[in-house]
Structure 1
Amino acid sequence: MTQAASQASYNAAIEETLIAIEDALDNCDVDMDYERADAVLTIVLEDNGTQVILSRQSAVQELWVAARSGGYHLSFENPGWKCTTTGEDLPALLDRVLTEQQGSAVALGL
C-alpha cells in the first residue's frame, strides 16, 4: 500500500470512528455534550464539567484519547482501534474513562 493510500485509509478510519462516537453520544442516557473541530472531538460530562478529548495524530497515524486518568494512544488494527499501552479496544477504553469521570456507568454501545 502506498503512503498516500495508507494516509487516506487512516483518515477514513478516523472520520468513520468520530461519526460513530457522535452518534453513540447522541443516543446515550448520560448527560454529555460534545463539540467537534476538524478531527478533535471534545466530550464534556455535564454533571462535573470534566472532559475527554479525542484527537487525530496524522504524523504517527494514531487516535489519542486524553482523559482525567491519563493519555492513551490507539493504533488502527483491523477491525478497530487498539490502545498501545492497555491493549483495550476503543469502545472499552471510552466506556471505562467516561465511567471513571462520570462516577457511574457509561456504556456508549460502540
Structure 2
Amino acid sequence: MEESAFNVLAEAELARIESALEGCGVDIDIEPKPGGILELEFDNGTKMIINRHTAAREIWVAAKSGGFHFRPQDGKWVNTRGGADLWDMLAALAGEQAGVAIRLTRPA
C-alpha cells in the first residue's frame, strides 16, 4: 500500500476512534496531536497513545498493559500478534485503564 493511501486510511480510522471514545460515556481527555496521534488521559492519570506508524503501515497502541500493532486486513485493523480486532482491544484496554467497562461502537 502506498504511503499516501495508508495515511488516508489510518487518519480516517483515528477520527472514528476519537469519535467513538468521546461518545463512550466515560470521562477520557482525548487530545489529537500532529502526525496522526491521539493521546488519551484517564481520570486516574494514566495515558494511552494511539498513533499511525506510516513506515510499518500500522496503527500502534501504547497502553498501560503493553504495546500493540494493528494492520489493515479485509476492511478491519487486526493485531499483528494473534489477529484480534483493534476495536475490541481498544475497548478492553481503555476499560482496564479507566477501571470501568467500555463499549465502543464502530461507526459504519
TM-score norm. by structure 1 comes to: 0.88
1:60 match: secondary structure? coil
The runs of 5 or more residues in structure 2 that have no matched partner are none
Q: Which residue number corresponds to residue 37 of structure 2?
A: 40
Larger C-alpha radius of gyration, 1 or 2? 1
Q: CA–CA distance in 2 between the matches of 1:65 and 1:86?
A: 15
Q: CA–CA distance in 2 between the matches of 1:86 and 1:104?
A: 25
Q: Which residue number corresponds to residue 109 of structure 1?
A: 105
Q: Which residue number corresponds to residue 75 of structure 1?
A: 71
Q: Which has the higher contact order (CA 8 A, sep 6+)?
A: 2
The number of residue pairs the alignment matches comes to 105
1:59 match: secondary structure? coil
Q: CA–CA distance in 2 between the matches of 1:76 and 1:101?
A: 25
Q: Which residue number corresponds to residue 51 of structure 1?
A: 47
Residue 18 of structure 1: which of 14, 24, 33 is its match? 14
Q: Which residue number corresponds to residue 93 of structure 1?
A: 89
Percent identity at matched positions?
Answer: 37
Give the number of the structure whose residues are more often helix, by fraction: 1
Q: CA–CA distance in 2 between the matches of 1:98 and 1:42?
A: 12
Q: CA–CA distance in 2 between the matches of 1:86 and 1:36?
A: 28
Query: Hey, which bits of structure 1, 4+ residues long, moved more than 4 A?
Result: none
TM-score norm. by structure 2 comes to: 0.90
Shift of 1:64: 0.5
Tell me the alpha carbon deviations over residues 60-89 of structure 1, each in whole angstroms, 9 at most, x when there is no partner: 111100001100011111211101113211
